[in-house]
A and B are shown apart, each in its own frame.
Chain A
Amino acid sequence: MEFHRNHIISMKDFTRDEIDYILDRAGKLESLARSGRSDILSGKILALLFYEPSTRTRMSFETAMLRLGGNVLNLGSKDASSVIKGETLADTIRVISTYSDAIVLRHTSEGAAQMAMEYSSVPIINGGDGAGHHPTQTLLDLYTIKRESSLEHPDVAIVGDLKYGRTVHSLTYALSLYGANITFVSPQQLKMPDQIIGDLKARGAHVNETENLDQVLNNIDVLYMTRIQKERFPDPTEYNKVANAYKITNKQLAHVRQNMIIMHPLPRINEIDSSIDNTAHARYFQQSFYGVPIRMALLTIVMGADI
């Protein structure tokens, strides 16, 4: 299958075949992602515009670009750029798109990447827009499940902040394409928005909701933990109430499926006890690494490079 896409904005823009194509391409690039350097994107420049803090997304894009032989321009801190003078995102995009061959954008407002696309002369890759989409995280999550478990009708529990967590909204949508049985585990205040549940059900997805993690723990292939994100809470007292609601320890893993894997988009605070890190279930650090081959695959696709 031939597949070309100029912009990577939302998982909803992808069919299952297209996602499979990206995952396959990441598979071909994985050994290069681990070490070495190629000239696949030699002479190309990737601009990184991060209006919110990021470690993994920003650095894995940088690593991906360097492994492919390209270069990276970094906006750096907002305080050191014209953003602090009040420049609009639209103007910033118009300018930066003349300096680079593609732009990765992380922004505080939902829909920022969609708007940026309208003003950019080069491909836009959404690196997270407010509580909206984070498609490259979703693709690396799917790649992790494919590599470390199976993407064929997996039983998946997604735990924690399902209201404000942008990764889980994109992920649940994509998992529905693979016939996953999804259980949402969260406190009442952080429930998956009804709108998203409605959309998933309309697509024929199998979804359940519970507040009790122990109820589902022994019947799943993938446990996807998320951080309760302090910055998404308008009210700090609401944050404190639910911060420690869902935490997993080694003890709870006694009767889980032998091949059950635990994932987390990181950073974790205390949702996963460090005693789990060395068990056969832990996959969150591999997951973090898989961001590199996935982003390499996407960069080659949007810049039209053969591998």
Chain B
Amino acid sequence: MNTQRELRVRPIVSGTVIDHIVAGQAINVLRILGITGVSDAVVSMIMNVPSNTLGHKDIVKIENRELKEKEVDKISLISPSTSINIIRDYEVVDKYNVEMPSTVEGMVKCTNPNCISNTNEPVTSKFIVESDPFRLRCLYCEHVISEQIAQYLL
């Protein structure tokens, strides 16, 4: 089993392990991080591996990169269960769970075509993050996004 894990996910020297990603969302995590396949980043991605807590999960490992706060916030919107592990010299030097912010600015495009944030006005999209049920409410037009948030990420 260990040999198989080694083959799937090689330990990294330095960088970030993004773990406990909701199964199927790893590709969207790469999108958030701007990893398109044309960059020279060393990236490992595994999808739908068994997880004790989630049933199944995805994992992304990126070498020589630590995430910015805005990137972590975006990941929290599509995969609230995610944990971030910062690796330096093979050691986990920091580990934390993502936390959804109470508001997000300039991260999500409003789905209402008639919203002022979708015009040529100098306005940055702003959403209130609501929980129970989880959804994003546009501060300007109050439209709600509750599904497929990844496709509206800016």
Contact = CB atoms under 8 A, between A and B. Distances in A.
Interface string B127-154: 0000000000011111110000000000
| Secondary structure dominating the interface of B | loop
B140 A110 contact: yes
A49 to B, nearest CB: 14
A109 B119 contact: yes
B144 A112 contact: no
Interface residues of B, number: 17
B114 A115 contact: no
A111 B141 contact: yes
A114 interface: yes
Contacts of A108: 114
A111 B116 contact: yes
Contacts of B138: 111
Provide the main secondary structure of the chain A interface. Answer: mixed
A280 interface: no
Interface string B34-75: 000000000000000000000000000000000000000000
A115 B116 contact: yes
B13 interface: no
Nearest to A130: B114
Contacts of B76: none
What is the size category of the interface that chain A forms with chain B? 10 to 19
A90 B114 contact: no
A215 interface: no
Contact of B140 (A89, A90, A111, A195): A111
Contacts, number: 51
Contacts of B141: 109-111, 129-130, 132
A109 B123 contact: no
A114 B124 CA distance: 12
Given A132-B141, A195-B144, A110 B122 contact: no
A115 B144 contact: no
B94 interface: no
Contacts of B142: 10, 110-111, 132
A110 B140 CA distance: 7
B146 to A, nearest CB: 9
B103 interface: no
Given A109-B115, A110-B115, A130-B114, A115 B120 contact: no
A110 B112 contact: yes
Contacts of B114: 108-110, 130-131
A111 B144 CA distance: 13
Given A108-B114, A131-B114, A114 B140 contact: yes
A195 B122 CA distance: 28
Contact of A90 (B117, B122, B139, B143): B122
A88 interface: yes
A215 B143 CA distance: 32
Closest 7 pairs between A and B when the two form their complex, measured CB to CB = A111-B140, A110-B141, A111-B116, A111-B141, A109-B116, A115-B116, A112-B116
Given A88-B120, A89-B116, A111-B142, 20 more contacts: A89-B121, A90-B123, A109-B114, A109-B141, A110-B114, A110-B115, A110-B140, A110-B143, A111-B115, A111-B116, A111-B138, A111-B140, A112-B116, A114-B140, A115-B116, A115-B123, A130-B141, A132-B142, A195-B143, A195-B144
10 contacts: A108-B114, A109-B115, A109-B141, A110-B112, A110-B115, A111-B140, A115-B123, A115-B140, A129-B116, A130-B141
Interface of A: 10, 88-90, 107-112, 114-115, 118, 129-132, 195
